[in-house]
Amino acid sequence: MSMEDFIGTWGKLMHLNAYQRHKEMINLYYLCYEGASEKYFKEDTSMHRTEYDVLQANHRFLWDDETASTADNSYETRLDKKYYDKLVKEYCICDLSRYKKSQVAMRRRTEAEVKLGKGQFSCGVRKCDERDRLTSWDVNFAYVEQGEKKNAFLKV
């Protein structure tokens, strides 16, 4: 920067108040020095959340009309409700790996499992592919969701 450029820039800065002058000088610094913005202004990704993170934080196993009407209309709630509406809710898949401790996990079927007939035309246990002697059961499933105990009848 030549002396004339410096004097011209300084003259423009003198009519600004202290805060505006500071902002202008910082902008000039980042325009003149290569790599200055990369060194000092890195994006903070600690607050970034994916849709998967949002679904994990706000997931509900069952949505009824009352829950849907009283829920807030935030992005997170709308995303969770939209995901719930896409699920096939007729049959559930069970995980019996901890049945000796009286712990049974249940989840909704994925699209691929629906196409294969898992839980409807083959056994609904996660690691079982039995296709003979199948029976459907309505099971009372007790679970805790957002600190509240709930019960639901699910078809297995």
| pLDDT by 10s per residue, the chain, length 156 | 555 665 666 677 777 888 888 888 887 777 777 666 666 666 666 777 888 888 777 777 777 766 666 667 788 888 888 877 777 677 888 888 898 998 888 888 888 888 888 888 888 888 888 888 888 888 888 888 878 888 888 888
Does pTM top 0.95 for this prediction? Answer: no
Q: Please report, for the chain, the start and end positions of each structural domain, with discontinuous segments joined by +.
A: 3-40, 44-86, 90-156
For 31, the 3-state DSSP assignment is helix
H-assigned helices in the chain: 3-14, 18-32, 36-40, 51-58, 65-70, 75-86, 111-116
Find how far residue 150's CA is from the centre of its chain.
23
Give Cβ neighbours of residue 52 (< 8 Å, ≥ 6 apart): none
143 sits in which H/E element? strand 138-145
